[in-house]
Structure 1
Amino acid sequence: MKVYISSDMEGSTGIVSPEQVMFGKPEYEFGRRMQLHDTLAAVNAALSWGADTVTVNDSHDRMINLDVSLFPREVSLITGSPKILGMVEGVSEHDAAIFIGYHAMAGTEKAVLDHTYSTKVVYGLKVNGIKLGETGLNALFSGALGVPVSMVSGDTAVCLEASSLLGETLITCPLKDGLGRNAAVTRSPEESAELISESVKRALEAAAAGRSPVLKMEAPYKTELTFHTTAQADAAGLVPGSERMSGRTMVFTTEDIFEIRRWCSSSIDCASIVGY
């Protein structure tokens, strides 16, 4: 079995503050350690429970957070950016995808560090009328390539979000309970490792039995991206294919699902250079 792991940071064990996930901040090294901790727990479990190979994609911010020298030889690490499919670059031709360290979409109550790609830029995202965060959009890209999402770990909020979208056959692994955006009751690293290991076992069993969910939508794909300000929407309007839906919302329609990734990334980049 070939297992794919997309590794983000905000949903990792013990993480609650922007100070812990931003390069250059004093607490960033703690964030790196916890991302690595949860990712290694998933990697080791996958190898123990039948994976022949594991591909890990560093999916947080600059995407150079994970140290390849600390992984077993059976692991390949996708690192650096930009990448065409971003957080799910290289997911094709795998038997199961696992999302580690994920967080809830922007605007979710009691969700640790909730956001959708950019805290300062993106207010909300929809595809074909369905609200999606990073979990949903990455699951959609994986599904388009025929790869099921077998497991999601992070805080309780993202696990509920993922289950509501992907269904009850998805294995979720909550590692902390959000008290707000920057506070949580968190498991210890030792307990988190045990929970992740058991969840990976169940996820691979589900994938092997064909029970893991594959998210698909019918073309054409209508993507609505809502920004925090009209100035940001003005800037995003420079991206080819964009149409203004309202003061803060741009729309893009395509038959090619992967063009959503390019359009969203380009629009967010353009919007991020303008002030309020």
Structure 2
Amino acid sequence: MKIYISVDMEGATGVVNPLQVRAESPSEYAFGCKMQLHDLKAVIDGAFEGGATEILVNDSHARMINVDVSQLPQNVRLISGNLKPLAMAEGIKDGCDCAFFVAYHAMAGSFNAILDHTVSSKTIFSVKLNGTLVGETGLNAAVCMESKVPVVLVTGDKAVCEETKMLFDNERIVTCAVKEGRSNSCATLLPPEETYQLLKDAAVRALKTFNSTYISQDLFECPYNLEITFRQTSQCDTVSYLPGIKRLDGRTIQVQCDSADKVWRWVDAAVTLASSATI
């Protein structure tokens, strides 16, 4: 059984502050990388205990060169670096059976959510897919499930776990909260020794559920109606010039996609263009 793991950083044990997830702040960022690796190794250990024979990890945070491959065990492969056509879901088509989302965060605008954002905190205010507000969990799940790879585990703070339950409307997906936000950058934390066991047990439980005739559910139907609302009208101005774009209002564009892969490519392209706008 081959497990796919997309690992972010904001939802990792102990992480609460933007400095801890940015390479521009070396000492704080080192802590973020350490905790990201801690959570990743915990679910890897649980996955192998639960019956996995292979694991493919996609480093999904920022520059996507955060995970130290020398710290990973045998039978684990790491996708590291950028650019990636499927971004946080890169590698999902490589013959995987099910997926884990580890150290994830809640979508932009979530209450008491640690470092909440959707893809880019500087450019994106919100994203809707077929009329449903989604964050990175929803965007990546759409790609996974279109590829017939069910998402069986999501870990992070309490807010992203609640978001996951609402998105899937399915109690069979396992979530594991390693902290509870009190604001955007303050949380009640659990010590790493405690979260290690929680995460490992959650991974074992997720695979047990998957192995007992797990039924994958499609979150969204094709074609995909993607709406992106930007933080600034100037950002929307820049993106709206692309062919195939419909502008809905001062800050929102709409585009129709015939695959979830193309949804991610549009989001990535929109963020890149919006980042170049003069505000």
**Quick check: TM above 0.5?**
yes
* Residues in 1 aligned to 2:30 and 2:241: alpha-carbon distance in whole angstroms: 37
1:256 and 2:259 matched:
yes
SS at match of 2:118: coil
1:12 and 2:12 matched:
yes
Q: Which deviates further from its counterpart, 210-219 or 260-269?
A: 210-219
Query: Where in structure 2 are the equivalents of 1:1-276 lying within 5 Å?
Result: 1-25=1-25, 26-92=27-93, 93-166=95-168, 167-211=170-214, 213-276=216-279
Deviation (angstroms), 1:8: 0.2
Q: Give the root-mean-square deviation of aligned CA atoms.
A: 1.1
Deviation (angstroms), 1:259: 1.2
**5+ residue gaps in structure 1?**
none
Q: Which amino acid in 2 is paired with 1:160?
A: E
Q: Which amino acid in 2 is paired with 1:11?
A: G
**5+ residue gaps in structure 2?**
none
Cα deviation, 1:189-210, whole Å, max 9, x if unaligned, reads 0101000011001100111113
* Residues in 2 aligned to 1:130 and 1:210: alpha-carbon distance in whole angstroms: 28
* Residues in 2 aligned to 1:162 and 1:212: alpha-carbon distance in whole angstroms: 17
Cα deviation, 1:16-54, whole Å, max 9, x if unaligned, reads 000000112030000000001100111111112210001
Q: Tell me if structure 2 keeps the 8 A contact 1:156–1:177.
A: yes
* Residues in 2 aligned to 1:5 and 1:225: alpha-carbon distance in whole angstroms: 26
> What's the TM-score, normalizing by structure 1?
0.97
> What's the TM-score, normalizing by structure 2?
0.96
Q: Which amino acid in 1 is paired with 2:19?
A: E
* Residues in 2 aligned to 1:14 and 1:232: alpha-carbon distance in whole angstroms: 33
* Residues in 2 aligned to 1:122 and 1:12: alpha-carbon distance in whole angstroms: 22
Identity of matched residues, %: 43
* Residues in 1 aligned to 2:230 and 2:204: alpha-carbon distance in whole angstroms: 39
